[in-house]
Amino acid sequence: MGVEGYIRSEIQKLQALYRDAKVYAAGFSLGSALTTIACLDIHNLFGHCDELYTYGEPRVGNENFANYVTQSIPQRYRVIHHNDIVPHLPPQLPIPYAHFAYEIWYDKNMQSYKQCGAEEFKCSKSVLPTSWSSSDHDINYYIKIGAWWIDSWNSLT
C-alpha cells in the first residue's frame, strides 16, 4: 500500500472511532504542495479537511485550482518566511500558476506578520525577484513559526 492508501485507511479508521473529529493537514516546501492535494482528496472522499497549514509552499495549480482550494477548505493558511524564494515558484508566466488564500507573511526576525489574500502585492509578492532568498526557505525558520502557531492554539484550548 502506498502513502495515499495508508492515509485514506487511517482516516477511515479514525473517523469510525471519532465521527466528529476535525481533520488537519500540514506540510513544508514540496511536502506542502502534496499536503494541499491530499487535503482536497480527503475533503472529496470524507466530506471535510477542516484546516490546512502550509509552510514555504510553491504554487500548486492555476487560478481555478487555487479558487477550488479556497472554496473547499474552510481554514487554510500559507505561511511564508520573509524573502523565501519557493513560494514564488513556479512563476506566474507563461502558465498562470496561483496561490490560494490566505497568506501569513512573516518578517525576517519572525516578530510580526501580515495576513493577505491569495496573490496580494502587500505581502510576499511585494518582494522583488532580486531579493528572493533560498536561505529564507530553511526549515529551521518554519519550525519556529510552527511552534508559535501550536503555542497560540494551545493557549486557546
70 occurs within a structural domain: yes
In the block, which residue shows the cell 486557546? 156
Percent of the chain with pLDDT over 90: 75
Active-site residue numbers?
A: 29, 84, 137
pTM over cut 0.85: yes
In tens, the pLDDT along 13-60 reads 998 999 888 999 999 999 999 999 999 999 999 999 999 999 999 999
Q: What is the pLDDT of residue 131?
A: 97
Number of domains making up the chain:
1
- pLDDT category, 149, cuts 50, 70, 90? low
CB 50 within 8 A of CB 23: yes
Q: What is the pLDDT of residue 147?
A: 55
Sheet containing 113-116, strands listed edge to edge, beginning at the edge strand earlier in sequence: 24-28, 51-55, 75-81, 103-106, 113-116
CATH code of the domain covering residue 47: 3.40.50.1820
34 occurs within a structural domain: yes
Q: What is the pLDDT of residue 75?
A: 94
12 occurs within a structural domain: no
Structural domain containing residue 96: 20-156
The CA angle 62-64-67, to the nearest 5 degrees, is 110
116 occurs within a structural domain: yes
2 occurs within a structural domain: no
Q: What is the pLDDT of residue 155?
A: 57
Q: What is the pLDDT of residue 146?
A: 58
9 occurs within a structural domain: no
The answer on pLDDT for 156 being more than 80 is: no
Residue 25: how many other CB atoms lie within 10 Å: 24
91 occurs within a structural domain: yes
In tens, the pLDDT along 48-101 reads 999 999 999 999 999 999 999 999 999 999 999 999 999 999 988 888 999 999
Q: What is the pLDDT of residue 27?
A: 95
The conformation of residue 133, written as its DSSP 8-state character, comes to: B
Secondary structure element (H or E) that encloses residue 65, with its range: helix 63-72
Q: What is the pLDDT of residue 63?
A: 94
7 occurs within a structural domain: no
